Structure 1
Amino acid sequence: MMKKLLGALALFLTCTVSFAAGGTYPLEKAPNRINDMAALQNGAKLFVNYCLNCHSANSLRYNKLTEIGLTEEEIKKNLLFTSDKVGDLMHIAMTPADAKSWFGTTPPDLSVIARARSVNLGPSGVDYLYTYLRTFYRDSAKGTGWNNLVFPDVGMPHVMWQRQGERTLTKTQVHQAADQQWERVTTVYDADGFSEVTREALSDYKGKATEEFKFEAANAQAAAQFDSDMADLSNFLGWMAEPVQQLRKQIGVWVLLFLGLFLLVAWRLNAAYWKHVR
């Protein structure tokens, strides 16, 4: 029985890790800013200005942002559109029918996107979003003019590309061609999205298939600031998916301490109860 349980656990862990690493591009660990009020406030500002045009957050009200240190007056002044009120849900004006017509699909609601993208015993949804938001690149072959390493062929354009600045992408793949010969294929996407492909035969290659990606930013300072902003935005989306997560963790610690104390008391009571029987 124990062997079966251990086997099932091993299978579960294997499947979980495989799913976490299922994409070709590895997810990067996002900076943990879930308790940084300034970072969450910046993430909220970015979300309202760049995401809330197409993506709704129908499970969150604007006044919930007071929990990250904003006052209702600051929310009214900086985060509300003309007709919105502080107590309103984060709806958008675009209808699902219009979204389907314009983008080919309805942009998902982002209320719990961070939890939806989490993997058990693997990368968190914040890690996924942090990596996704930073891996857009120009691709003239796509209808939107953009592509993404984490979500290939995504229908969403890079709406914050001006904040990030222009950059190029070099993708290097080593694989077996149709004739079973190994080759290295290097694809360079320039700042306008046009690609140039070079192939190199590897006659004595004894390794395995690999894939590498390298971005080169035209403005390193702007790119670094963009990375920091995306960390703030990802952490805000993580907070929005579960605003009470910090309280839940605090309560969980006290519950575990209580259970540990109760276990000790129960163990001693059990020993005292059965000592005369034995």
Structure 2
Amino acid sequence: MKKLLWKLLGSLALVATMGSVQAAGGGHPLDSAPNRVNSEAALQHGAKLFVNYCLNCHGAVSMRYNRLRDIGLTDEQIKQNLLFSGEKIGDLMNVSISPKDAKAWFGAMPPDLSVIARAKGPDYLYTYLRTFYKDDTKATGWNNLAFPSVGMPHVMWELQGIRTAKYVDEKDPHDATKTIHVFKGFEQVTPGKLKPQEFDDAMGDLVAYLQWMGEPAQLDRKRLGVWVLMFLAVFTVLAWGLNKSYWKDIH
């Protein structure tokens, strides 16, 4: 039994090691996204960015505009700041682009973003949104470190500005006869409307909104979970005291 347990632990360690090696060599390293799901200000700013820059091509068919009340927006604020094409406050966040046009322009219909944060993870989205760069060899004129040869153009280039990626050829540490293309940073060609830190903060807010949109009830669920754990803790103490009192005269 002991030998079987050690073999199992060894197998798990080997799988974990292989997984970490694959993650390290599987692409551009991911940056940690700031945790702002509890910030109404961040969620409201993220919702504004989403509607202005993402909703032109990507839908969110699981979300209605009036659900934005949950992040502190009034119906009037939603109407004035987030409804631009005659939508109603109770409408779903549908995309206006037709599948035919999307296929002609991008090769495929852009994916729905209702649960993209749950599918990809906040760190991936945060890195992806911040690592676009100009690449004239691509059909859209843009490329991305987290998603090489991405079909989506950099829709927020005016905010971030235009950048190019600097690469150098180095010898492959695993094979001296080969060379590899190593990323060495970005070069700012033209400035954007936002400073680099401001743009990163804006993308953090957008990612926070995408996280919240994937499960709008998550904050209520977490708050309720705290009360449930507190109740169970008190009930455990009472149950322990009752059990002790019941068995105290029995030897």
Instruction: Give TM class, smaller chain.
Output: 0.7 to 0.9
Q: Which of 87, 93, 115 in structure 1 is aligned with 2:90?
A: 87
Instruction: Tell me if 1:166 matches 2:162.
Output: yes
Separation of aligned partners in 2, 1:178 and 1:35 = 45
Separation of aligned partners in 1, 2:32 and 2:93 = 28
Instruction: Tell me if 1:216 matches 2:196.
Output: no
CA RMSD of aligned residues (A): 3.0
On the 8 A contact 1:58/1:109 being kept in 2, the answer is yes
What 5-or-longer segments of structure 1 have no aligned partner? Answer: 118-124, 186-210
User: Post-superposition shift, 1:20?
Assistant: 5.8
On the 8 A contact 1:23/1:150 being kept in 2, the answer is no
Aligned counterparts, 1:261-272, within 5 A: 261-272=234-245
Instruction: Tell me if 1:43 matches 2:46.
Output: yes
Share of identical aligned residues, percent? 57
SS of residue in 2 equivalent to 1:54? coil
Separation of aligned partners in 2, 1:261 and 1:25 = 47
Aligned counterparts, 1:94-243, within 5 A: 94-117=97-120, 125-172=121-168, 174-176=170-172, 180-181=176-177, 183=179, 185=181, 211-217=182-188, 218-219=190-191, 222-243=195-216
- CA displacement, residues 245-271 of structure 1 (integer Å, 9 cap, x when unaligned): 111111122222223333334444445
Q: Which of 28, 33, 43 in structure 2 is aligned with 1:30?
A: 33
My pick for the range that moved more, 10-19 or 156-165, is 10-19
Distance 1:269 1:20, change over 3 A: farther
On the 8 A contact 2:160/2:199 being kept in 1, the answer is yes
User: Post-superposition shift, 1:94?
Assistant: 1.9
- CA displacement, residues 127-174 of structure 1 (integer Å, 9 cap, x when unaligned): 221110000111111111111111111111101111111223213464
What 5-or-longer segments of structure 2 have no aligned partner? Answer: none
| Equivalent residue pairs, number | 246
Separation of aligned partners in 2, 1:5 and 1:275 = 44
SS of residue in 2 equivalent to 1:110? coil
Structure 2 residue identity aligned to 1:45: K
User: Post-superposition shift, 1:223?
Assistant: 2.6
Distance 1:9 1:67, change over 3 A: farther
- CA displacement, residues 48-73 of structure 1 (integer Å, 9 cap, x when unaligned): 11110100010110011111121111
Q: Compute the TM-score of the two structures, normalised by the length of structure 2.
A: 0.83
